[in-house]
Amino acid sequence: MTKFANAGQMCVAPDYVLVHNSVREKFVAMLKETVLNFFSEDPSTDYNYGKIINEKQFKRLIGYLDNGTVVWGGKYDSRKLYIEPTIIENILPDAPVMKEEIFGPILPVIAFEHFEDAKTIIDRNPNPLSFYVYTSDSKKEKEWLQAIPAGGACVNNSSWHFTNHHLPLGGRGNSGMGEYHGKNSFEVFSHRKAVMKTPTWFDPAIKYPPFKGKMWLFKKIMR
């Protein structure tokens, strides 16, 4: 449920959920129940639920509500910059909500039948900052983690790798470059200057022309 923590305004919050067809209805029903238990029947007055940071982001998020069918939530109040925890289904692949970082409390739920179907959806926006796998099958766990390049990953939880300072946090490709946290923070914000020193008495002829007859040795040394 880190999707709705801070009203979804976290870089490591899930942007969508892929759930197998066989458990989709059960999953959505339990998700609705959990949202209700966590944030009460009126999240707008609940201490544990936040508001959107500013009007610009609020308007952007409201625009996503018509990208699919709202099956839970969908209420909002522009005066309070409040958007209810919202679950949407029946989203078209090219909908804006599937192509942009949501950064808000709107969760698309997408059903799939086969591994390759789900992977195709992920591959439309490759190299996510975070990737989360929920399974009790170690074989499936390994298959997913190896198949999906991502900045970081969790198994059977979401976003909590962010809290572990022993784990590097960072993206790859479109989701960013570099890593921080703990020692990684020191390294990413430091520049290690490479210096090679050669003694004055050592100046092998292999460094200089003519190179004919030397290349095999040069390649062997450089390797």
The per-residue pLDDT for 182 is: 80
Domain that holds residue 143: 5-175
State the Cα–Cα distance between residues 181 and 89, nearest whole angstrom. 36
DSSP for 68-122, written as a single string: SEEEE---EETTTTEE--EEEE---TTSGGGTS---SSEEEEEEESSHHHHHHHH
Residue 25 lies in a domain: yes
Q: How many domains does one find in the chain? A: 1
Query: Strands, DSSP E only, in the chain?
Result: 17-20, 69-72, 76-77, 82-83, 86-89, 106-112, 130-133, 152-155
Q: What is the CATH number of the domain that holds 91?
A: 3.40.309.10
Contact yes or no for 67/80 (Cβ under 8 A):
no
Q: What is the pTM of this model?
A: 0.81
Asked if the model's pLDDT at residue 223 lies above 80, the reply is: no
- Residue 178 exposed, middle or buried by CB count within 10 Å (0-12, 13-18, 19+): middle
Reported as a single tens digit per residue, the pLDDT across 156-171 is 999 999 888 888 888 8
Q: Give the amino acid at 105.
A: P
Whether a cis peptide bond, with omega within 30° of 0, leads into 105 is no
Query: What would you report as the CA-atom Rg of the chain, rounded to the nearest whole angstrom?
Result: 25
Token match 């470059």: residue? 177
Residue 190 belongs to some domain of the structure: no
Q: 186-204 pLDDT, tens per residue?
A: 888 888 889 988 898 988 8
Of 1, 11, 53, 70, the active-site residue reads 11
In a domain, 181, yes or no: no
Lowest mean pLDDT among 8-17, 103-112, 145-154, 156-165: 156-165
Active site residue 11: yes
Assign 3-state DSSP to the chain and report helix, strand, coil percentages, each to 5. Answer: 40, 15, 45
Give domain status of residue 196, yes or no: no
Contacts of residue 136, defined as CB under 8 A and 6 or more positions apart, other chains included, come to 156
* Residue 74 located in a structural domain: yes
Residue 215 placed within a domain: no
Asked if the model's pLDDT at residue 183 lies above 90, the reply is no
For tokens 């409040």, name the residue. Answer: 82
Measured CA to CA in angstroms, residue 40 lies from 14, 136, 175 at distances of: 22, 30, 34
Q: Is residue 208 part of a domain?
A: no
Give domain status of residue 210, yes or no: no
Reported as a pLDDT band with limits 50, 70 and 90, residue 54 is very high
61-65, 89-93, 163-167, 172-176: which range is least confident on average? 172-176
